[in-house]
Amino acid sequence: MTALPDWMRPPRAEGWFAEDLDHLPEAPRHTELIDGALVFMMSPQRWWHGHLITLLAVALMEQAPADISIGREMTIKLDARNRPEPDLLVTTADFEGDRTWFAPEEVRLVVEVVSPESAHRDRTVKLRKYAEAGIPHYWRVEDEDGAPVIHVYELDEPTRAYAPAGIFRHSLERELPFEISLDLDKLTPPRKS
């Protein structure tokens, strides 16, 4: 068995904390902290996944009001032991070039594009954690035979849990977190016959 490199050992007996992610230059680029454990994205990214994230980010940027920004693959410091990295987020934070994370109160929408490697976390773990942190909107994008399907959730504030707000195929119209109109069929290239 190969020994672990020193950087993979927690710096303290209590394990990893959210701020530790900023001091791990040897870690893979997409490293998250979930319940104090480092989670690495090691499997290769599918073209569908990356393409969809890019086109969705552009579509949201084109429609976002001036006080809203779209972030891609940036972590959210939910608490001392959790710093997940959603595929996209909508934030009210002012732009800071050296920023490495967002606070939950700065985030209005989190978007996770499900991949085989992240499916369990995106459908259960992150759904619960983002809601408990008070993020008002969560979208989970699934691949349905090459077409995107968006599962939309809104936060029920008293319970700090998400309530389903719809499942969208072909098009999505939402008033929150801002006026959004998406042609989902344009988010993936047409299949060649």
**pLDDT 10s digits, 127-142:** 999 999 999 999 999 9
Section 20-32 average pLDDT: 76
Whether the predicted pLDDT of 173 surpasses 80: yes
The predicted structure's pLDDT at residue 169: 97
Report d(CA 88, CA 75) in Å as an integer: 10
CB atoms closer than 10 angstroms to residue 181: 10
Residue 41 has pLDDT above 80, yes or no: no
CATH code at 47-187: 3.90.1570.10
| Token code pair at residue 107 | 């985030």
C-alpha span between 125 and 104 (Å, rounded): 16
Query: Under a CB-based contact definition with an 8 Å cutoff, are residues 105 and 85 in contact?
Result: no
Torsion angles phi and psi, residue 136, rounded to 5: -65, -25
Task: Pick the most confident of 6-10, 94-98, 112-116, 129-133.
Answer: 129-133
Identify which has the larger pLDDT, 43 or 77: 77
pLDDT of residue 19: 85
Burial class (CB in 10 A: 0-12, 13-18, 19+), 172: buried
Q: If you average pLDDT over residues 52-78, what whole number do you get?
A: 95
pLDDT at 175 over 80: yes
The pLDDT assigned to 35 comes to: 77
Contact call for residues 81 and 18 (beta carbons, < 8 A): yes
Question: Which alpha helices (DSSP H) does the chain contain, by range?
Answer: 47-63, 119-120, 126-132
Mean pLDDT of the chain: 89
Q: Of 158, 101, 107, which Cα lies nearest the Cα of 136?
A: 107
Assign 9 a pLDDT band (cuts: 50, 70, 90).
confident
Q: Cβ contacts of residue 130 below 8 Å, gap of 6+?
A: 76, 78, 84, 104, 110, 138, 162
Q: Where are the beta strands (DSSP E) in the chain?
A: 31-34, 37-40, 69-72, 75-76, 88-91, 101-102, 107-113, 137-144, 147-156, 161-169, 171-174, 180-183
